[in-house]
Amino acid sequence: MCRNGRPEQCEDVTLQAKTVFVTTSWDDGDQSDLKLAGLLADRGLPGTFYVTSGGLGSDSSMSAKDLYGLANAGFEIGAHTVTHPVLTEVSRAVATRELVQCKQSLENLLGREVTAFAYPKGRYNSAVVELVRKAGYRCARGLRMLSLSYAFPRFEMPVTIQAFPHSWKGYAKNLLRRGEVATLARSSWQIARAPGWVELGKGLFDRALQQGGVWHLLGHGWQTEKLGGWSELKRMLDYVSRRPGVRYLTNSELCQVTHPEVRAEVILAEQKASHPS
């Protein structure tokens, strides 16, 4: 298992036919994410925690010390803007400030590069994608669900299942808004038959085991806490953990495997850092 996006630690992880990857990501930086991290660590699972930097240490958000501890425990810290605006609804200048300042704040705190970004509420367009790229991120995750594909744009990483009880209508709306008619048609029978998100997640993981693919679990710690969904989440994590032959990666590590140019960028950045001009 490679960790912290270190390319030399990912050399044995290659994209081959029927390879199965598992990755998880968690948004917003709530203190409940510490409980999530414990559940992941107990099962040897990776996690990318996307943090809204402006809320650190306030209300129910994690503190800077909490975040530093997660990073040192081997989890990836990604950026989620400063104040969580929908980037398609603010000016270019505001969006740029949110992207750049969040990255800088987290890097100053952690003492390491932050390369992954998650769009607030999953909303983005081509202009926002370009701003994310210019801000120095190497990959970004949205909220398109029910995906098992390796072939995703590096700034439009989809997910497979969310730790939330969506209705069939909710899944349909999510996919149709993005033109994913084929994905909806392929998964409709599983959605209809599954009594809950855990069973749907298990079915999609089984499909990945059969045909290969990326199984990506998305969640929000505060949402799991509010719904009392910890037992369901544990069942899901137990089902996908410690499977022989399955590769467990953070979001950034996954991007390095699926996008060789990202891996090349990481290597080049590390070379420059170790040999400054």
Q: Does 9 reside within a domain?
A: no
> Maximum Cα–Cα distance for the chain, whole Å?
60
Residue 44 structural domain:
15-274
Q: Residue 151 corresponds to which tokens in the numbers above?
A: 């072939």
Identity of residue 14: T
Share of the chain above pLDDT 90, in %: 77
Model pLDDT, residue 125: 96
Model pLDDT, residue 145: 93
Identity of residue 20: V
**Could you read off the pLDDT of 78-126 as tens digits, one per residue?**
999 999 999 999 999 999 999 999 999 999 999 999 999 999 999 999 9
- Over the Cα atoms of the chain, what is R_g? 18
Identity of residue 188: S
Q: Does 188 reside within a domain?
A: yes
Q: Does 148 reside within a domain?
A: yes
CB 122 within 8 A of CB 147: no
Q: How far apart are CA 153 and CA 128, in angstroms?
A: 14
Number of domains comprising the chain: 1
Q: Does 132 reside within a domain?
A: yes
Q: Does 69 reside within a domain?
A: yes
Q: How far apart are CA 11 and CA 123, in angstroms?
A: 33
CATH of residue 235: 3.20.20.370
**Could you read off the pLDDT of 22-75 as tens digits, one per residue?**
999 999 999 999 999 999 999 999 999 999 999 999 989 999 999 999 999 999
Q: Does 2 reside within a domain?
A: no
Q: Does 51 reside within a domain?
A: yes
Assess whether pLDDT exceeds 70 at residue 261.
Answer: yes
Q: Does 221 reside within a domain?
A: yes
* Mean pLDDT (whole number) for 132-138: 98
Neighbours of 1 (CB within 10 A): 15
Query: Chain-wide mean pLDDT for the chain?
Result: 92
Q: How far apart are CA 50 and CA 117, in angstroms?
A: 7
Q: How far apart are CA 243 and CA 20, in angstroms?
A: 10
Give the model's confidence band at 206: pLDDT under 50 very low, under 70 low, under 90 confident, else very high: very high
Spatial neighbors of 276 by CB under 8 A, at least 6 apart, are none
